[in-house]
Amino acid sequence: MTELFVDPTGVDALTRFVAYVLLVAACAGVSIYTVLNIRAQTVQSSMWRYLFLSGVVGVSYGLLAIVETVAAGGGIASDPVTVGAFRRVSQLFFIVFLALAMRELYYESPHESDELLASLSPRTIRLLEAGFLTVIMIEFVVVILLGFVTVARLVQLAASVAFTAYGVSFALPIKSAAMTSRTILDTMVTYVIAVMITAGAASAIEIGYVVGIPPAAVESTAIVLTVMAGTFLVALTIRLKQNVDGRRY
């Protein structure tokens, strides 16, 4: 039984299951309506491909979490620790792709901030991204091949916090700018920020197992944050759908 679950067969397991079903459905909706926005050409931006990828990876993240939950309760013959390792990698890439979507949108915006550009050139941005993505892959190797779960959670904390802050640093200037010609972005960016913060916190909270926070508290907090992220994703899906519908009439 994985240490991630205090009650692998009780009510908590059902709560986890439902939370991740919500996440899977919400991420699938984001991917579907992202494709429809691309086809309708609602906003000309490279951010759509990253938003689509975040939805696809989010579905993978949710499905792996469901398998992990069922495996921990003995429902299927899979190792929950190994499944959990894949789940963590998917969880991090879900955040990464959201952050990259905001980066693309920022550099395409005519309202970009000179201060941020001065400190982070495009070349520096690419190097930082490559570095952090390498860190994530190192986590994958460590967990799968060596089984150093504690080290992996420390890497997970660093990567989650770093990419959440990275994405929000690009999203906030876009949000604060009065982009009257692209009104979809105001609401959409708000929801993306909310998803990044809640998903990033849900990922980072697992460090609580390492520093001695009661497992029940860590687990319940992660579930609440996951439900919040799923709810924001549903709201984002609705906004994307409204944007597509607006182009049809």
Q: Which domains does the chain have, with CATH numbers?
A: 11-248 (1.20.1070.10)
The more confidently predicted of residues 205 and 27 is: 27
Distance CA 6, CA 123 (A): 45
**Residue 180 pLDDT > 50:** no
Sign, Cα dihedral of 240, 234, 47, 35: negative
Q: Residue 212 is encoded by which pair of tokens?
A: 């001695």
The percentage of the chain sitting over the pLDDT mark of 90, rounded to a whole number, equals 37
Asked if 226 contacts 202 with a C-beta cutoff of 8 angstroms, the reply is yes
Q: What is the reported pLDDT for 101?
A: 92
**Residue 114 pLDDT > 60:** no
Single pTM value for the model? 0.86
Across residues 1-29, what is the average pLDDT?
A: 77
